[in-house]
Amino acid sequence: MTLGASARDKLFVAALLTPCLLFVVVFAYYPIAYSFYLSLHKIVLSLPALGQPFVGLENYRTLLRDGVALRSLTNTALFAFFSVGLEILFGLLIALVIHRRFKGRGIVRAAVLVPWAIPTVVTSQMWRFIFNDKYGLLNFALHGADVGSYTAWLADPGFAFGAIVVADVWKASAFAGLLILAGLQGIPEELYEAARIDGANAWQRFRRVTLPLLKPAILVALLFRTMDAFRVFDLVFVMTQGGPADATNVLQFYGYKKIFAEGLMGYGSTISVLVFVVTFAVAMMYIRVVGTRLFGREA
Amino acid sequence: MSARRLGFFLLTFLIVGLSLLPFLWFVDTSLKSAVQVTAIPPTVVPEGSLAFYRSAVRNYNLLHFLRNSAIVAGLTTLITIGLGTFAGYALARLRFRFKGLFLGALLVVSMFPQISMAGPIWRILRSLGWLNSYQGLIIPYVTLTLPLGVWILASFFKELPAEIEDAARVDGAGHVQTLFRIVVPLAAPGVFTAAILVFIYAWNEFFFALLVMTQQKYQTLPVGIALFQGQYTLPWGEIAAASTVATVPIVLVVFFFQRRIVSGLAAGAVKG
């Protein structure tokens, strides 16, 4: 017996999609759900005899009273605020530069992509070296050979926080720039012609034509980068290990420490649920913005 | 030169300088002598020795890390592009129910924070005996790169004229033949773009590599570079050497394929 055409089509679609679906369900959706489940249990990896007793919302109550967790939440939010803010600003500058046609534009585009493309671990070690208290480039640039006035950047709470922001901004500004560039390329040239005929100068054209029309692209870059900033890990792991005095402790690093260094699988999962909820809220806003944009474009 | 053009030139110069100089300083460091690395004032011209590279190979397993990274990133790219081609084609060309739901469920995965999956994935891999194994890292990587891969491939497949496939079908080619003989070759640039982005992701990833590869034998370059530790002080020369080795392939890819990467990233981020 041969299958009818429509049954064969269905089988073909199923064969194409099933492997992909299997991966995503088993190694992404199931783990997320499993994290929720774990967060309702008391699990200490070093005490297997304890078993996995169900404790309801106890881990969540602990979380609300955990000063370090709240500090990590604040740090993560501040990190997102400062680094994403600066990335949008520099991204806009980068986008305006590489949008122009000029000789060597390809090389300029490749150069600004380099920080985005190199491993974050390398970025982190590189900036850790530049911020080094004894022989780092930053101290030398500020104080020359006057070693007595050198600052231990990564040992000072405020400066260490600034240092991870600097490293992130260096790495991610170009990415924000590319998203904004995509928006720039969508602005019709006639609008600038019309503005020029009306006597608008360069600044007025930027304020009245470019910025308003770039708003959706800037919003996309803002949300995309915010989502990423809430997941920051590599920079903190390599540059500061959350220190000094938890000044650079961020949620994802704190959760990692609780689960894998201290073996608190249950409580650590509660932190991971918090990270998920916060990131998911930003992601949903992002999808709404991108969704309406796509819809608008196709209509 | 007008003032505006001069300003534009200076701005471009500044952006390129800030993008490249910090990393070039690290590359420079990797070529210095041990005394030069910590010298005040810093020296710019390195003595040109490869001593730190030799030491990174001999004392810090650099070649191990390099091999592990190449295996994990290479296989991840092959598998993701293979599965992504199937799913991307279905999404671009075939009609079926719940297409939007499938696409949405796939894209959301790229937004999951790693920590929210980490504990369970670690438990699953441990119970399978796959901690410290290549498949233990490749499988999470395939999962996390599929959304981007599928999306880029689907958008490239969509741009191909459907008439060519119809013609092939009229000539008696089946679904599978049409996909591999007609669609994939025509969409080669898109397949290549997706492969570059997936490879860069897998080559650079740190979080899961740190969890899964606890034995040095299996560690990838980012884990190796993060955990470099001397007996008393940090071996900056060796760290810089390993960082250069990890970065050179990626920088070459960026310089040769920047146009594709820019279009791929824009498509991946704005649409997915």
pLDDT digits (tens, 9 = 90+) for B31-84: 999 889 888 888 888 987 899 999 999 999 999 999 999 999 999 999 999 999
Residue-level pLDDT at A159: 97
Is B177 within 8 Å of chain A by CB? no
Q: Band the pLDDT of A298: cuts 50, 70, 90.
A: very low
| Nearest CB to A110 within list B108, B113, B258 | B258
Nearest Cα of chain B lies from the Cα of A273 at a distance, in angstroms, of: 6
Q: Band the pLDDT of A90: cuts 50, 70, 90.
A: very high
Q: For residue B233, what is the DSSP state?
A: S
Residues 35-94 of B with CB under 8 A from A: 37-42, 83-84, 86-87, 89-90, 94
Is A100 within 8 Å of chain B by CB? yes
Q: What is the DSSP string of B7-52?
A: HHHHHHHHHHHHHHHHHHHHHHHHTS-HHHHT-SSPPSS-----HH
Q: Please answer yes or no on whether A24 and B106 come within 8 Å at the CB atom.
A: yes
Which residues in chain A are closer than 8 Å to B139, comparing Cβ atoms? 23, 27
Nearest Cα of chain A lies from the Cα of B40 at a distance, in angstroms, of: 6
Helices (H), A66-188: 67-99, 105-117, 120-130, 137-143, 157-184
Residues 200-239 of A with CB under 8 A from B: 202, 217, 220, 224, 227, 230-231, 233-234, 237-238
Which residues in chain A are closer than 8 Å to B150, comparing Cβ atoms? 20
Q: Please answer yes or no on whether A178 and B258 come within 8 Å at the CB atom.
A: no
Residues 174-203 of A with CB under 8 A from B: 174-175, 178-179, 181-182, 202
Which residues in chain B are closer than 8 Å to A255, comparing Cβ atoms? 115, 118
Residue-level pLDDT at A293: 60
Mean pLDDT of all residues in chain A? Answer: 91
Say what percent of chain A tops pLDDT 70: 96
Helices (H), B129-174: 134-159, 162-170
Is A38 within 8 Å of chain B by CB? yes
Angstrom distances, CA of residue A149 to CA of A140, A152, B38: 10, 10, 17
Say how far apart CA A198 and CA A57 lie, in whole Å.
Answer: 64
Is it the case that residue A93 has pLDDT exceeding 50?
A: yes
* Helical packing angle, A157-184 and B3-30, nearest 10°: 130
Which residues in chain A are closer than 8 Å to B265, comparing Cβ atoms? 175, 178
| Nearest CB to B262 within list A114, A178, A271 | A178
Nearest Cα of chain A lies from the Cα of B185 at a distance, in angstroms, of: 18
Nearest to A179 by CA among B269, B28, B47: B269
Nearest Cα of chain A lies from the Cα of B114 at a distance, in angstroms, of: 7
Nearest Cα of chain B lies from the Cα of A158 at a distance, in angstroms, of: 22
Residue-level pLDDT at B1: 63
Say how far apart CA A197 and CA B217 lie, in whole Å.
Answer: 67
Nearest to B42 by CA among B28, B27, B54, B55: B28
Lowest mean pLDDT among A50-54, A271-275, B21-25, B118-122: A50-54
Nearest Cα of chain B lies from the Cα of A229 at a distance, in angstroms, of: 10
Residue-level pLDDT at B5: 84
| Nearest CB to A27 within list B12, B116, B139 | B139
Q: Average pLDDT for residues A26-43, to the nearest whole number?
A: 96
Residue showing tokens 């969508």: A186
Q: Please answer yes or no on whether A31 and B111 come within 8 Å at the CB atom.
A: no
Is A124 within 8 Å of chain B by CB? yes
Is it the case that residue A84 has pLDDT exceeding 70?
A: yes
- How would you write the pLDDT of chain B (272 residues) with one tens digit per residue? 688 888 889 999 999 999 999 999 999 999 999 889 888 888 888 987 899 999 999 999 999 999 999 999 999 999 999 999 999 999 998 888 888 889 888 988 988 999 999 999 999 999 999 999 999 999 999 999 999 999 899 988 988 888 888 888 888 888 788 888 888 888 898 899 999 999 999 999 999 999 999 999 999 999 999 999 877 788 999 999 999 999 999 999 999 998 889 888 877 766 54
Better-scored residue on pLDDT, B170 or A254: A254
Residue-level pLDDT at B164: 83
Say how far apart CA A129 and CA A114 lie, in whole Å.
Answer: 19
- Helix/strand/coil for B217: helix
Residue-level pLDDT at A138: 95
Contact B62, B79 (CB under 8 A): no
